[in-house]
C-alpha cells in the first residue's frame, strides 16, 4: 500500500503511540518516545514474549518439536557492565569502525572492507582497491587496473601486480588496529587491506577516477561511552550495553548455582540497549536506544543443532500466532559469508515492512547458534578464529589481548559424569521493531457505510486482541435514561478484572466506534434502550462489525474468554 508508512507515523503521533524524543526541542535523531497507547502496545508485546518464554513454560512437559524438557528463567541485569565484558565479547573491537570517505565520489567505506593490490604499468604505480569481496573483488580490481592504465583486455599481462598477498600489516594511523585480522582463510585471495605503507596518495578508491581521493580513516564508536564516578578519566570509562545478552552470559554461573534450574535451560531478559547507529532510519526500526527481548539457551554441544532447529521454528511461529501473516514474514538462514566467525548457524526472522523494497525484508529477530564462544570468551579472554577453531587472541607480547574472568563457566552433568562448556542458542528479538511490525501488519483502511449509507474510508488497526492497548470500550448509546450509569458500572467491573477498558460517551455512537477502530480496540460494548429491560448489552466486533447481545452479568467472563482465544 502506498504511503502506508507515512499514514502510520501520522496515526501514531495523532493517537499517542509514538512521539519523537524531545520533540519540543526539535527532536533527537535516533530516539523515540512511546505515548499512552504505545506504551501499552509495547508492554503487551513484551508480555506476550515473556509469557511464552517464562511464565507459561511447562518444564515438566516436552514441547512439540523440542528434544526434551528444559527450564526457563528470567533475569534483569544492569545497563552498564564491567568494561572487560565488552572487550572479551568482542564488541569493544568490533564496534570500533574506521570509515574513510572518497572526496571524489562522496562515498563512504568501512576502511577494513577496502582491499586491494599494487598495480604497476611502465613507471606508474597505483594501489587499486575494491569494496567487493571474494572473486568479484579480484575481478573488479583487475578490471579497474585495465581501465586506469587505459589498456585493452589482451594487454592485461602488461600490468605488474604486487606480490604482497597475505599478512598485510594493519593500518597503524591513529592507533587503529584492524579488528578482523587478515588470515589465510580470508576469501580475498590475492588482495590485502590498505596498510600504512600504502600511502593514501597512491590509493585508487573503488569508484573513483582519480588517485588519492580517500580521506584518512576516522573512528566511529558504536558503543555509547559514559563515565563512572564524577571525575572523568580513562579509568572511569564504561559503556552502555549494546546488547542484553552479555548479562545472561556473565550470570550463567549465578543462575546455575542459585535457582536449581535443570539442564538444559534458558535465561531470558528484556531490556534497553544502545548502539550509536550511523544512520538511524525508518521510524523506530533503527534507533540508537532500543529494547531487546533476548534469551540464551544453554545446552549440551551434541544436542545443540536440534535445539537450534527447535528455537528458530518456535520463534517464527510466535509471530504468526500473534497475527503476522506468513507471506510477510520469512525465516532466512544466513549465508556462510554473513555468519559471524563464531556462529555455527544463524537465521533471521524478517518482516516485509512498508519501507522495504518489494522482495526485501527488515530483521525482527536473529536466532543464532553461538557455540561455546560466549562462555569461553568470559573464561579465557577474547577469542578469534584460528586455524584449529577459536583461539585466544594474543597481542604482540604473546599474552591475551583481553583477559577473561578466569572463572569456571563449564557445566558438570551428575548423571553422565561429564564436564563440558555448554553451547548457546540465542533468539534475540527487537521489541521496538516487533512492535512496529505488529502496527504495520495491523494497519488497514476499508470502506464502511456511514449513517446515510455512503461509503467512508475507515482506518482500523487489526491488532491481535492480546496486543491491543485497549481491550474493550464501553459506551452508553445516549447520555440519558440511566445509560451512562450502567455503562460506568460495566466499565468499573471490567477494570476491576484487570482488563484495559475505555469509557466513552462523547459524540455520536458511530464516531465512537471509529475512534476505537483506529486504535485497535477489538470489542465495544454498548448500553442501549433494551439494556434497561433485558439486562443485556451489545458486543461489537472490530473486524466483522457484527453485533450480538450478551448479559451484563456475563460481560467480564465473555471478554476474558475472547482474549484467551
Q: Which chain residues interact with RNA by CB under 7 A?
A: 5-6, 9-10, 13-14, 20, 26-30, 91, 94-95, 97, 101, 106-110, 113, 131, 222, 242, 275, 277-283, 286, 340, 355, 357, 448-451, 456-459, 477-480, 506-511, 513-515, 518, 526-529, 538, 540, 545, 547
In terms of CB distance, is 157 or 451 closer to RNA?
451
Q: Which residues contact 428 (CB under 8 A, 6 or more apart)?
A: 243, 245, 292, 293, 294, 295, 365, 366, 367, 368
Selection from 289, 282, 275, 109 nearest residue 206 by Cα = 109
In terms of CB distance, is 96 or 253 closer to RNA?
96
β-strand partners of 368: 346, 426
- Smallest gap from Cβ 215 to RNA, in A, equals 10
Q: Which residues contact 51 (CB under 8 A, 6 or more apart)?
A: none
Determine the Cα–Cα distance for residues 119 and 151; give it in Å rounded to an integer: 13
- Smallest gap from Cβ 269 to RNA, in A, equals 17
- Smallest gap from Cβ 149 to RNA, in A, equals 26
| 237, 240, 242, 243: CA torsion to nearest 10 | 120
In terms of CB distance, is 194 or 255 closer to RNA?
194
| 459, 462, 468, 473: CA torsion to nearest 10 | 60
- Smallest gap from Cβ 487 to RNA, in A, equals 11
Q: Specify whether the CB–CB gap between 480 and 466 falls below 8 A.
A: no
Determine the Cα–Cα distance for residues 115 and 127; give it in Å rounded to an integer: 9
In terms of CB distance, is 358 or 389 closer to RNA?
358
Helices (H), 340-425: 373-380
According to DSSP, residue 55 is labeled I
- Smallest gap from Cβ 67 to RNA, in A, equals 29
- Smallest gap from Cβ 88 to RNA, in A, equals 15
In terms of CB distance, is 91 or 312 closer to RNA?
91
- Smallest gap from Cβ 485 to RNA, in A, equals 15
In terms of CB distance, is 426 or 528 closer to RNA?
528
In terms of CB distance, is 518 or 558 closer to RNA?
518
In terms of CB distance, is 110 or 332 closer to RNA?
110
CB neighbours of residue 343 within 10 Å:
16
Determine the Cα–Cα distance for residues 365 and 431; give it in Å rounded to an integer: 9
Edge-first strand listing for the sheet containing 501-503: 501-503, 472-476, 523-527, 536-541, 547-551
How big is the chain by its Cα radius of gyration, in Å?
29
Q: Is 175 exposed, middle or buried (0-12, 13-18, 19+ CB in 10 A)?
A: exposed
Determine the Cα–Cα distance for residues 180 and 311; give it in Å rounded to an integer: 29
- Smallest gap from Cβ 66 to RNA, in A, equals 28
In terms of CB distance, is 53 or 428 closer to RNA?
428
Which H/E stretch holds residue 446?
A: strand 443-449
The grid coordinates of residue 330 equal 520469512
- Smallest gap from Cβ 5 to RNA, in A, equals 6
In terms of CB distance, is 278 or 330 closer to RNA?
278
- Smallest gap from Cβ 254 to RNA, in A, equals 25
- Smallest gap from Cβ 393 to RNA, in A, equals 15
CB neighbours of residue 550 within 10 Å:
15
- Smallest gap from Cβ 502 to RNA, in A, equals 12
In terms of CB distance, is 259 or 506 closer to RNA?
506
In terms of CB distance, is 39 or 278 closer to RNA?
278
- Smallest gap from Cβ 90 to RNA, in A, equals 8
In terms of CB distance, is 50 or 361 closer to RNA?
361
The grid coordinates of residue 185 equal 582463510
Selection from 479, 489, 506 nearest residue 514 by Cα = 506
Q: Which residues contact 538 (CB under 8 A, 6 or more apart)?
A: 525, 526, 528, 547, 548, 549
- Smallest gap from Cβ 350 to RNA, in A, equals 11
Determine the Cα–Cα distance for residues 449 and 458; give it in Å rounded to an integer: 9
Determine the Cα–Cα distance for residues 368 and 243; give it in Å rounded to an integer: 14
Determine the Cα–Cα distance for residues 403 and 411; give it in Å rounded to an integer: 21
In terms of CB distance, is 124 or 209 closer to RNA?
209
Q: Is 4 helix (H, G, I), strand (E, B) or coil?
A: helix
According to DSSP, residue 215 is labeled P
Amino acid at each position: 500500500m502506498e504511503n502506508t508508512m507515512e499514514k502510520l507515523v501520522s496515526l501514531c503521533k495523532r493517537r499517542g503511540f509514538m512521539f519523537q524524543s524531545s520533540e519540543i526541542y526539535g527532536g533527537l535523531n535516533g530516539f523515540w518516545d512511546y505515548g499512552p497507547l504505545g506504551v501499552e502496545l509495547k508492554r503487551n508485546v513484551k508480555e506476550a514474549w515473556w509469557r511464552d518464554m517464562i511464565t507459561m513454560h511447562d518444564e515438566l512437559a516436552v514441547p512439540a518439536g523440542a528434544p526434551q524438557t528444559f527450564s526457563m528463567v528470567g533475569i534483569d541485569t544492569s545497563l552498564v557492565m564491567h568494561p572487560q565484558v565488552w572487550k572479551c565479547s568482542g564488541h569493544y573491537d568490533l564496534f570500533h569502525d574506521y570509515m574513510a570517505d572518497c572526496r571524489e565520489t562522496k562515498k563512504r567505506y568501512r576502511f577494513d572492507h577496502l582491499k586491494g593490490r599494487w598495480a604497476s604499468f611502465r613507471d606508474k604505480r597505483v594501489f587499486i582497491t575494491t569494496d567487493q569481496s571474494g572473486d568479484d573483488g579480484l575481478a573488479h580490481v583487475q578490471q579497474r587496473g585495465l581501465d586506469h592504465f587505459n589498456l585493452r583486455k589482451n594487454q592485461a599481462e602488461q600490468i605488474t601486480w604486487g606480490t604482497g598477498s597475505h599478512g598485510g600489516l594493519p593500518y597503524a594511523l591513529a592507533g587503529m588496529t584492524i579488528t578482523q585480522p587478515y588470515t589465510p582463510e580470508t576469501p580475498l585471495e590475492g588482495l590485502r587491506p590498505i596498510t600504512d605503507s600504502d600511502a593514501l596518495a597512491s590509493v585508487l578508491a573503488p569508484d573513483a577516477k582519480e588517485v588519492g581521493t580517500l580521506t584518512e580513516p576516522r573512528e566511529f564508536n558504536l558503543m555509547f561511552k559514559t563515565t563512572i564516578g564524577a571525575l572523568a578519566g580513562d579509568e572511569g570509562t564504561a559503556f552502555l550495553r549494546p546488547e542484553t545478552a552479555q548479562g545472561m552470559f556473565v550470570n550463567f554461573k549465578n543462575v546455575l548455582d542459585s535457582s536449581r534450574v535443570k539442564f538444559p535451560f534458558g535465561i531470558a531478559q528484556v531490556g534497553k540497549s544502545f548502539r550509536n547507529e550511523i544512520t538511524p532510519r525508518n521510524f523506530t526500526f533503527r534507533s540508537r536506544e532500543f529494547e531487546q527481548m533476548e534469551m540464551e539457551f544453554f545446552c549440551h554441544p551434541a544436542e545443540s543443532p536440534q535445539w537450534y532447529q527447535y528455537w528458530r521454528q518456535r520463534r517464527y511461529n510466535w509471530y504468526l500466532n500473534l497475527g503476522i501473516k506468513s507471506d510477510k514474514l520469512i525465516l532466512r538462514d544466513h549465508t556462510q559469508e554473513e555468519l559471524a566467525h563464531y556462529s555455527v548457524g544463524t537465521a533471521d526472522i524478517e518482516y516485509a515492512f512498508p519501507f522495504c523494497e518489494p522482495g526485501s525484508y527488515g530483521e525482527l529477530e536473529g536466532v543464532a547458534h553461538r557455540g561455546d564462544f560466549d562462555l569461553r570468551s568470559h573464561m579465557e579472554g577474547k577469542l578469534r578464529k584460528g586455524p584449529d577453531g577459536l583461539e585466544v587472541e594474543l597481542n604482540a607480547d604473546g599474552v591475551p589481548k583481553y583477559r577473561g574472568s578466569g572463572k569456571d563457566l563449564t557445566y558438570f552433568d551428575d548423571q553422565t559424569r561429564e564436564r563440558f562448556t555448554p553451547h548457546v542458542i540465542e533468539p534475540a528479538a527487537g521489541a521496538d521493531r516487533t512492535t512496529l511490525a505488529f502496527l504495520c501488519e495491523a494497519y488497514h483502511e476499508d470502506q464502511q457505510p456511514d449513517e446515510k449509507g455512503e461509503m467512508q474510508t475507515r482506518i482500523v488497526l487489526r491488532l491481535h486482541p492480546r496486543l491491543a492497548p485497549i481491550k474493550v470500550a464501553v459506551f452508553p448509546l445516549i447520555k440519558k435514561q440511566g445509560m451512562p450509569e450502567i455503562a460506568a458500572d460495566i466499565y468499573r467491573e471490567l477494570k476491576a478484572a484487570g482488563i484495559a477498558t475505555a469509557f466513552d460517551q462523547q459524540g455520536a455512537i458511530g464516531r465512537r466506534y471509529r475512534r476505537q477502530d483506529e486504535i485497535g480496540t477489538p470489542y465495544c460494548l454498548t448500553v442501549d434502550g433494551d439494556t434497561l429491560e433485558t439486562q443485556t448489552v451489545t458486543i461489537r466486533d472490530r473486524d466483522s462489525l457484527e453485533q450480538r447481545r450478551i448479559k451484563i452479568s456475563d460481560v467480564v467472563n465473555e471478554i476474558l474468554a475472547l482474549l484467551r482465544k
